[in-house]
Structure 1
Amino acid sequence: MERNVWFSLGAEQMQSESPRVLLVEPFYGGSHKQLIDLLQENINGCSVFTLPAKKWHWRARTAALYFSQTIPACPTYRVLFSSSVLNLCELVALRPDLAHLKKVLYFHENQLIYPVRKDQDRDFQYGYNQVLSCLVSDVVVFNSQFNMDSFLSSILSFMKKIPDHRPKDLEQLIRPKCVVLNYPVQFPDVSRLLPKHKLVCQQVKHCPDEPPPSWEHDKNPELFFSTLLKLKEKQLDFQVSVLGETFTDVPEVFAEARRLLNCHILNWGFLPSKEDYIRVLCQADVVVSTAKHEFFGVAMLEAVHCGCYPLCPKALVYPEIFPAEYLYSTPEQLFKHLQGLCRRPNIARGHIVKVDTSSFTWVSLKQRFETLLASTGP
């Protein structure tokens, strides 16, 4: 739902309640929505403008023009905060009154390395827009060190796609503006949902994050399901929950895996409520990621919060968050880890994961976000 917040207040109210922070989100769904809502609830003086989370490609192309016509002029604005889906360069060009604000750009992901099936399928414009947005921003914020490093280190090679008259020194211009500020995860209270003992059978849960529609392949379901089929061939005892929203372009491997693993499936697909989702996590023993891309990984942290033993690739953002004992480098290592846990499930059930999820909460990150949205300072 589009949320336009308008103000018509008396003079006394205007002094204390005038909007100071302009929050703009072209893709108001998933983690993007959660962050905007969290900031609005906890930062005083926010005015919010959003577009529904669908037609991602069109949002990236045209949202700036829409917002230039719908955001009213307001002399009290001091800070503009937006995700990198917005072409910030276009917005401030169309609305010069917004150009003087402290402009903060938040990267949930970056389009310079976002996986596509074939490199020729990559639309140059999306990454180019993000680079332009960085150039006009005052602060560029990334949700992880991996996200920042992968973006900055890819600018030069990305710009080589321009046939001639290429711009120079863009990384050097952008890097001084960049900071890492983790996404604040809203972990639920799971004390009443955690079982006194774990299930008799091993559960493995694959947690896709929230990719734009038709990009399910970036979570590498082929590796996940082939590993489970090897466990089945070994006649190991396990149950699996595969959770996530189903989009129109679903890889064929899902239907085949569902048929071949039928007797091992405990949950499949989208659950009707967040509590149902959390309940499954609390009953599970192990959470697995086979992602080809991950810039932060909310779903994995949620699973760890619910007591799951994590297994993640030794790549992407995961080494930032998870100690080496939870990382695998090859498909063979993933299989051996899971095989061992299926044969000795108490290893996972009695293990306390060495990840402090509290450091990723709003309580821990609030002060840094307040500083970020102050009219002065980084």
Structure 2
Amino acid sequence: MILILDSFFTGSHKYWGLELKRRLPFNVDLLTLSGKHWKWRMEGGAYELAQKFKKLNVKPKIIIATDMVNIPLFYAFSEITTEKIPCIMYFHENQFAYPISNLDTDKVLKRDNHYSFINLTSALFVNQVVFNSEFNKNSFLKGADKLLKKLPKNNIERKISNEQIIFPGVDVPRENLKKLSSTPTILWNHRWEYDKNPDLFIRGLKHLQNISIPFKLIVLGKGTEKKEIKSKIEKQFKKELIHCGYTENKKQYFKLLSEATHLPVTSMHDFFGIGVAEAMSYGCYAVLPNHQAYPEHLINNSESGILYDYPDGFNTALENSIIHNKKGTVKNEFLFENVIKKWTQLISSLC
């Protein structure tokens, strides 16, 4: 049995865990905690998970634990070792590069890098480290080196075991990719929150209105169903709007993706971008910031999108993408068929 361990099981973590369980050619179980109170999950989640682990009737051959787990603490509380049960650590994000809210008390009080250090000690402890993007890997290694130089004199060496990149994975589209309208249809399929910079997205749409470029609009993602947000979008883009509001129904979600033609992304931060890959798999042409993990979507795939200088280059890039209408595709490396092959090879090598 392969055990997936996650103390913050929600969003992209939950999507990834459930898909691995469903697709891997092994018996896979999940041992998780709900995605609430992330700091407490990194601090105390290891103890709670260990108590659950001790009650398992069958112990795993391998554990795949996410970056939200204090892995050395979990192994100590569970009274197991990596020699008997090897551990693969999967980084969905890393605390060295994760943006901190201005309201965060640790930031206000200028506290230390405690949560980053949990990531580092876990990575030093495990048998294998896997990242979900090149950006995630590079920012973690850079942050780890920087932190170690700040610490008091020590003999800690940043020796990470054979780090690999395995993308989260997206499906081959099941819907007909033939677009229903000749008018460009712009898609937003992200959380409607500060770090995704929806204000820049709205300014870009208004720019298109001001220069009389016609378009249709589909707005998805958590937060877009809120009354104040939905009413604002409906008022400003009444003529263009096809849909506004979050949908948990996957069939409806992918149907709306299949109707879209363009994906402008205004996010300040992303360690991968599952929503971007999903939209591109449905033929959306991507307008992406030239930072974070976004350029990786266009490596060996440059005809599927455009990179812009963030944030000032957004309006021009959006306008050009609409005028010169092209179709996007997702990289083969992002498809589950190839992702599962890499996971199968890695797990088999440790069994």
Confirm or deny a common fold (TM above 0.5).
yes
Q: What code does the residue aligned with 1:220 have?
A: N
Cα distance per residue 1:249-287 (max 9 Å; x no partner): x8x988755543344332222024111111111111101
Change (3 A) 1:208 1:70: same
| C-alpha distance in structure 2 between counterparts of 1:22 and 1:284, whole Å | 38
What displacement does 1:74 show?
Answer: 6.2
| C-alpha distance in structure 2 between counterparts of 1:75 and 1:308, whole Å | 45
Change (3 A) 1:246 1:287: same
Cα distance per residue 1:118-164 (max 9 Å; x no partner): 4925873322211121111111100111110011111233456x6x6
Change (3 A) 1:318 1:336: same
Q: What code does the residue aligned with 1:114 have?
A: Y
**Where does residue 315 of structure 2 map in the other structure?**
335
Change (3 A) 1:219 1:133: same
**Where does residue 159 of structure 2 map in the other structure?**
173
Q: Secondary structure at the match of 2:333?
A: helix
- Given that 1:289 and 1:312 are in contact with CA atoms closer than 8 Å, whether structure 2 keeps it comes out as yes
**Where does residue 140 of structure 1 map in the other structure?**
129
- Give the one of 282, 285, 300 matched to 2:261: 285
Q: Secondary structure at the match of 1:373?
A: helix
Cα distance per residue 1:287-315 (max 9 Å; x no partner): 11111111111111111111111110111
| C-alpha distance in structure 2 between counterparts of 1:219 and 1:254, whole Å | 17
| C-alpha distance in structure 1 between counterparts of 2:275 and 2:61, whole Å | 34
| C-alpha distance in structure 2 between counterparts of 1:255 and 1:61, whole Å | 40
After TM superposition, the structure 1 = structure 2 runs for residues 37-76 of structure 1, keeping only pairs within 5 Å, are 37-41=18-22, 42-72=24-54
| C-alpha distance in structure 1 between counterparts of 2:45 and 2:297, whole Å | 33
**Where does residue 107 of structure 1 map in the other structure?**
91
Give the TM-score normalised by the residue count of structure 1. 0.79
Structure 1 residue 241 corresponds to structure 2 residue 234: no
- Given that 2:8 and 2:34 are in contact with CA atoms closer than 8 Å, whether structure 1 keeps it comes out as yes
- Give the one of 24, 30, 37 matched to 2:11: 30
**Where does residue 346 of structure 2 map in the other structure?**
372
Q: What code does the residue aligned with 1:165 have?
A: P
| C-alpha distance in structure 2 between counterparts of 1:268 and 1:166, whole Å | 55
Q: Secondary structure at the match of 1:326?
A: strand
Q: Secondary structure at the match of 2:45?
A: helix
Report the more deviating stretch, 72-81 or 358-367: 72-81
| C-alpha distance in structure 2 between counterparts of 1:158 and 1:239, whole Å | 47
Change (3 A) 1:227 1:75: closer
Q: What code does the residue aligned with 2:346 have?
A: L
**Where does residue 72 of structure 2 map in the other structure?**
89
- Given that 1:207 and 1:289 are in contact with CA atoms closer than 8 Å, whether structure 2 keeps it comes out as no
- Given that 1:65 and 1:91 are in contact with CA atoms closer than 8 Å, whether structure 2 keeps it comes out as yes
| C-alpha distance in structure 2 between counterparts of 1:37 and 1:260, whole Å | 38
**Where does residue 331 of structure 2 map in the other structure?**
357
- Given that 1:221 and 1:254 are in contact with CA atoms closer than 8 Å, whether structure 2 keeps it comes out as no
Where in structure 2 are there 5+ consecutive unaligned residues? none
Output the aligned Cα RMSD: 2.9
Give the TM-score normalised by the residue count of structure 2. 0.85
| C-alpha distance in structure 2 between counterparts of 1:168 and 1:319, whole Å | 36
Q: Percent identity?
A: 25
Change (3 A) 1:201 1:307: same
**Where does residue 186 of structure 2 map in the other structure?**
204
- Give the one of 314, 330, 350 matched to 2:290: 314
